[in-house]
A and B are shown apart, each in its own frame.
Chain A
């Protein structure tokens, strides 16, 4: 029962805050902070691992979902800057093509910080505000982690395990979504983001692999306007 009491207290506090500031919905000069989740699904078109390799040794990359913090700032009533912040996304790398079925070969953590500029339709206090956005993205890869299988497939029997690194890239993202003004202070949002992302994997064996990742992202959030 204690939890429930706390929730009530929170809601009362939130309501009080809403009354106290009395600002209009996501208008010029206004900040909003939302929390939610973001799922990133790479749409992989893999190049082959360069020689020496079994011809057509391709790769695939799994999806990952992380909690999301979304910070919005209204530049004007219709133009908003949005910065999604999340803990790193952990993606699993799998063999594909001629090495399909070899399973998990490695993992990589990715941070794709993106600053979006959005155009939000309708009045700030409209119940539903669709928007389109364009973002500058820096795709940052880290903690690239190999495996026994990766070593076996790239440098069998080697005394040093194979490691790999993925090139970080500046790129861009397109966004389409909508926010719902639940009330004066609370908003819900959903958006779909498509990022153009082509990068190269460099193995410690000297082999390389070009990867077209072009990830889709789906963000669902609930937020509060300050």
Chain B
């Protein structure tokens, strides 16, 4: 009996020893690499408030997402983009814009002096391109907003000037750019194609109408002059066609008014064909231009960042812009062209940084495609509809730049991917932050 008691006593002691406080705990939240700061270069996807001034600020905007802390509506509506989430995860100060201000229309509140902020290291600006200083909404494009769109190459130069020409080496440097090069190049292509189409429209009208006039040579000149005058007044295709037919009739082509519909239809078809032909002929140039931009960004990373002492460059490639609502609203050919531009940019970017151990090349393009094909595991409930109400009445800028908790579309948009036709919601940004951090962990930086 004595021995039995002894065995039981041992058992009891062991069980007791095993007890104690045993609930879940958060554990060590620090990481292997202690970053001193976060320095960000890029465009609207990384911008933390370059344009949060004047009317933009008054509209409750400033960042390219659903602005403001709306976590009371839904916990995902943090108003933060990925640079802010990554900085918070690394226990770094909240990023602030290195430059603020607008150079647009004063009467609309878009003229606010450009101010530099010494203690702020997020240089990313909405509309910024890789090297070209004129991006979307820059005053030079005629935009009343007057976005400063300081390109990445200048952003880096500005930081180096501020930091004494060198990185310390323990900064996390983030880069994400290229989207605005696509938008500007497409805009230019579209403008040129429209011009080509307009020329073809008038040529077609002249060719169809002049032979029926009393004096074909004089008739051709009169029709052409009338059509061009209508175009110069900003008339649409119908106005131009009407002007041409009227001129033809005045010059003796009596059957012209009766055949107006058929003549107009053919001229319109000729114009469309010419416009598309122009686009097709110049699409390759755009792909080439994007390849150049990708190589330029890669060279900036290698020469200006790593070459000046940066040891941790988080280089996001360009997400697949062809999947954005903006691109989805375009023709299938244009979507294909955009996809090709993204591919050309990323291929050159990747090649330029090679296997540099100081650069973490993150394939956001692949993730954006996976999100489009397989949204559910990401927690995405909608990948096509902008969460912001972009109608002029609700959003004068028709952009997420002026989107907040008060001008969203109806329903629960917390897990939508897009805030406007291009930019992610805070949830979409959180998915980028998560993937970047995952890749940093695999790289051994965390």
Please list the residues of chain A having a beta carbon within 8 angstroms of any beta carbon in chain B.
31, 33, 48, 51-56, 69, 71, 83, 85-88, 95, 99-103, 106-107, 109, 111, 142-153, 156-165, 204, 226
Contact = CB atoms under 8 A, between A and B. Distances in A.
B377 A71 contact: no
B433 interface: yes
B27 A85 contact: no
List the 9 shortest-distance A-B pairs measured between CB atoms, nearest first. A52-B379, A157-B85, A142-B22, A161-B26, A157-B88, A226-B3, A152-B437, A51-B379, A55-B377
B28 A148 contact: yes
A152 B10 contact: no
B161 interface: no
Contacts, number: 141
Q: Dominant SS at the B interface?
A: helix
Contacts of B80: 157
B420 to A, nearest CB: 21
Contacts of A56: 377
Given A52-B415, A53-B379, 15 more contacts: A55-B378, A83-B11, A87-B14, A102-B442, A102-B446, A109-B22, A146-B25, A148-B89, A153-B437, A156-B430, A156-B434, A157-B433, A161-B26, A164-B24, A204-B24
B24 A153 contact: no
A162 B24 CA distance: 10
A150 B27 CA distance: 10
A31 B7 contact: yes
B27 A52 contact: no
A142 B23 contact: yes
A91 to B, nearest CB: 14
A151 B3 contact: no
Contacts of B377: 48, 51-56
Contact of A152 (B11, B17, B434): B434
Nearest to B3: A226
A148 B31 contact: yes
Contact of B378 (A53, A85, A100, A156): A53
Contact of A103 (B86, B87, B441): B441
Nearest to B94: A157
Contacts of B259: none
B178 to A, nearest CB: 23
B436 to A, nearest CB: 8
B355 interface: no
Interface of B: 3-4, 6-7, 10-11, 14-15, 17-18, 22-31, 80, 84-89, 370, 374, 376-380, 415, 427, 430-431, 433-435, 437-438, 441-442, 446
B357 to A, nearest CB: 15
A55 B10 contact: no
Nearest to A142: B22
A102 B26 contact: no
A210 B435 CA distance: 22
Nearest to B441: A102
Nearest to A56: B377
A119 to B, nearest CB: 22
A153 B11 contact: no
A83 B14 CA distance: 12
B377 to A, nearest CB: 4
Task: Give the residue among A103, A143, A157 with the most B Cβ atoms within 10 A.
Answer: A157
Contacts of A152: 89, 434, 437-438, 441, 446
A51 B434 contact: no
B442 A101 contact: yes
Contact of A153 (B14, B25, B84, B441): B441
Contact of A143 (B6, B14, B22, B28): B22
A33 B80 CA distance: 61
Given A85-B11, A156-B430, A147 B27 contact: yes
Contacts of B23: 142-144, 165
A85 B15 contact: yes
B20 to A, nearest CB: 9
A143 B19 CA distance: 11
Nearest to B8: A71
A69 B446 contact: no
A165 to B, nearest CB: 5
Contacts of A153: 434, 437-438, 441
Given A101-B442, A153-B434, A148 B25 contact: no
Contacts of A159: 88
A160 B437 CA distance: 17
Contacts of A149: 31, 437, 441, 446
Given A161-B26, A161-B29, A156 B433 contact: yes
Contact of B84 (A52, A146, A157, A163): A157
Given A31-B4, A69-B14, A85-B11, A101 B441 contact: yes
Contacts of B84: 157
A180 to B, nearest CB: 21
A156 B11 contact: no
Nearest to B31: A148
A54 B22 contact: no
Contacts of B433: 156-157
Contacts of A157: 80, 84-89, 430, 433
Nearest to B381: A51
A87 B17 contact: yes
Nearest to A202: B24
Contacts of B10: 33, 69, 71
A55 B437 contact: no
Contact of B25 (A71, A100, A103, A143): A143
A51 B376 contact: yes
Contacts of B6: 226
Contact of A102 (B14, B87, B376, B438): B438
Contacts of B415: 52
Contact of B446 (A53, A85, A148, A164): A148
A71 B11 CA distance: 8
Contacts of B374: 55
